[in-house]
A = this chain, B = another copy of it.
Amino acid sequence: MIPIPKGFSFGAMSAGFKNSLKYDLGVVLCETEAPAAGVFTQNAFPAAPVQVARDMLAGRKTARAVCINSGQANAATGDRGMVDCRLSLEMLGDALGIPEESILPASTGVIGVPMDMAKWRDAAPELAGRMGKSSPMDFARAIMTTDAFPKVAWANISGLPGSEGPVRVLGFAKGAGMICPNMATMLSVVLTDAEVEPALLREVLAESVSLSFNRIIVDGDTSTNDTVYAMASGASGAKAGREHKDALSEAFADVCQALAYMIVEDGEGATKVVRIAVTGARDNGDAEKVARAVGKSPLVKTALFGKDPNWGRILGAVGYSGAAFDPDHVTISMGKIPLFRNGHPVEGESKQLLAPHMRRQDIEINIDLGAGGGHYEVLASDLGHGYVRINAEYTS
């Protein structure tokens, strides 16, 4: 059983947005107005629900519900998209008997296609009737697009005063899977029954996102709809003040990192999860440049798909990353086996030794720039035929 933080209930259904019987609409409802926070895409074309939710959270820092639909992104839909988003929340608020302005929206689906409001009108009362009858797994399924599996992770927060039972964090996510063109959105919701002030909740969420979802690379494309929400019901009775930030952050980061791993694991056509750890950079920014250049390189990603310990391609990407270093001080290892050290290839049988590591799902690349104390780490998928098939062959 998935441990549900106290105070939350779920509803999920098929509204027909996907033109199938699959679930495509889900709501998390909190029994009281609860502190809420959001982290949104940096894309210059934010989808309508992103714009609406940003405005909402800029005002009140609380919410009663998060509503997520798949099947239609409501992105690049102009003024009509904004009107439709607000209308969908009004319909849902009426059906649930809560204010429309306390429902945080998120959408994923085809860019540039207006929402089907008739379907929303039919769905709202049915969804209201399902509240509390759907499971967390139903909700996790409702937010999937081409994800191969629902993504749920949880943790407990230790050491909080005021609670007898466990204090819980439960997270959901969908990954960057595409079958219909343009679906490439990362969405996540993290719930806790700890009592957390909005400002602290926002801080902990932003830090957890920067340690998890912001460090994964499937194809390097940033969606118009990416959204991560957090809500804190306080229903456990445990209060997490600023003095408990570390415990809170640890639980949030655990949940977000587990979900982030699942997103990479479930990347389109991905067969591997590659951890690229850069150390010895002049600063953390340089380390990030290198990690991202390697994680995005199509040459590195196709080599990994081919189980090829192709350190020359890694070296090439390090070289064009823009980071400052002395090539003679750089070490590149895979699976702990050094391949290039201090400007020279490592002599010997390292490629043969690496063969078992290359067959694994989890691959390690370590790059030491020998230039300082900066470090950064990303998780990346490989690039194989599945990616091309999913993204090219299902045309509109």
User: Which residues of B are found within 8 Å of A333, using beta-carbon distances?
Assistant: none
Asked if A313 lies at the interface with its beta carbon under 8 angstroms from chain B, I say yes
Q: Does A317 contact B (CB under 8 A)?
A: yes
Shortest C-beta distance, A295 to chain B (Å), equals 13
Which B residues are in CB contact (< 8 Å) with A340?
76, 112
Instruction: Compute how far the CA of A127 lies from the CA of B45 in the bound complex, rounded to whole angstroms.
Output: 58
Copies in the complex: 2
Q: Which of B45, B219, B305, B312 interacts with A327 by CB under 8 Å?
A: B45
Enumerate A172-216 residues with CB–CB distance to B below 8 Å: 178, 181-182, 184
A315 within 8 A of B: yes
Chain B residue with Cβ nearest A222: B320
B111 near A221: Cβ-Cβ < 8 Å? no
Task: Place the interface of chain A in its size category.
Answer: 35 or more
Taking A112-B312, A181-B313 as contacts, is the C-beta distance between A396 and B351 under 8 angstroms?
yes
Give the interface segment out of A245-253, A276-284, A384-392. Answer: A384-392
A344 is an interface residue with CB less than 8 A from chain B: yes
Given the interface contacts A312-B181, A387-B302, does A325 sit within 8 Å of B44 by beta carbon?
Answer: yes
Distance between Cα atoms of A222 and B315 in the complex (Å): 11
Contacts known (A298-B391, A302-B388); A76 close to B312, Cβ less than 8 A: yes
> Residue on B with the closest CB to A307?
B395
Are A220 and B388 in contact (CB-based, < 8 A)?
Answer: no
Distance, CA A97 to CA B196, complexed state (A): 82
Q: Does A224 contact B (CB under 8 A)?
A: yes
In the complex, chain B residues whose CB is within 8 Å of the CB of A316: 43, 45, 111, 182, 184, 221-224
Are B182 and A319 within 8 A (Cβ)? no
Docked Cα-Cα span, A110 to B181, in Å, equals 37
Does any Cβ of B come within 8 Å of A77's Cβ?
A: yes
Most buried by B among A181, A311, A317: A181
Residue A310 at the B interface, CB < 8 A?
A: yes
Residues on A lying within 8 angstroms of B by beta carbon are 42-45, 73, 75-80, 110-113, 178, 181-182, 184, 219-224, 296-299, 302-303, 305-313, 315-321, 323, 325, 327, 340, 343-345, 351, 383-385, 387-389, 391-396
A sample of 21 cross-chain residue pairs with beta-carbon separation below 8 angstroms, ordered by A number, consists of A44-B323, A45-B318, A77-B345, A111-B313, A112-B315, A182-B316, A184-B299, A221-B298, A221-B313, A221-B316, A224-B315, A298-B383, A298-B387, A305-B388, A305-B392, A306-B394, A308-B392, A308-B396, A310-B396, A385-B385, A387-B388
